[in-house]
Structure 1
């Protein structure tokens, strides 16, 4: 795979302490900062589901809990590979049970999205 785009994103779950919610937000943040028009206009790739490979690395406090399929669903094109690694942050926030909080922490995730062509 030859990398064409690398972008980073950050996502937080302020209430609910859900690492998957934070990770999905991080991926969506990353992909919202780039446009793949060069794949069609420069490389003349007409079918973005073939020949386009997307590698997602998400750094979260509990990588073993990542819903890989849920992360893949955030990406609209290409063959997607998801890897979860230990990282992210868990920091004190505010405890509001009516917002779904289990405790007073905030989960933060970082995502690296690499778009390549095969």
Structure 2
């Protein structure tokens, strides 16, 4: 049995070291970037990988990160991926955006906090680290 590989995209991370998940929300202001930044920080904030220079040819600069963000469809257009990428101190980032996350009522809309409504925007995140 043979497989046709010409139409298959090469994976960004050929060698996966670990996968972490996180979530973040913006309770006021309905800013998906703020929720996505919080989700990414939640996914990686407690990790330390001091052996990268021994494990990965090229060290930290050669790391690749595949980030999947699940965002409510009505808030995807407002996402600033450049701002989200700044969460990651090293490595080449590749983002995939998919429908998901959640819109939940915060229970209050506060004009001084930039609320347009009482939506609380929740973003889910998966970060695959490899090379």
Q: Would the TM-score normalized by the shorter structure come out above 0.5?
A: yes
Structure 1: where are the runs of 5+ without partners?
none
Q: How many residues align?
A: 115
- Match for residue 68 of structure 1? 81
Moved over 4 A (4+): none
Q: 1:20 Cα deviation (Å)?
A: 1.1
Q: Does 1:22 align with 2:35?
A: yes
Distance (whole Å) between structure 2 residues aligned to residue 100 and residue 109 of structure 1: 19
Q: Does 1:33 align with 2:54?
A: no
Structure 2: where are the runs of 5+ without partners?
1-13
Are 2:23 and 2:40, in contact at CA under 8 Å, matched by a contact in 1? yes
Rg bigger for which structure? 2
Q: 1:64 Cα deviation (Å)?
A: 3.9
Are 2:31 and 2:78, in contact at CA under 8 Å, matched by a contact in 1? no
Q: 1:35 Cα deviation (Å)?
A: 1.4
Aligned residue among 36, 42, 47 for 2:59: 47
TM-score, scaled to structure 2: 0.80
Aligned residue among 57, 70, 74 for 1:59: 70
Q: Which protein has the bigger strand share?
A: 1
- Match for residue 91 of structure 2? 78
- Please state whether the residue corresponding to 2:38 is helix, strand or coil: helix
Are 1:66 and 1:84, in contact at CA under 8 Å, matched by a contact in 2? no
Output one character per residue of 1:29-76: Cα deviation in whole Å (capped at 9) or x when no partner.
111031122323x516563112x1011111000334322222211111
Q: Does 1:111 align with 2:125?
A: yes
Q: Does 1:99 align with 2:107?
A: no
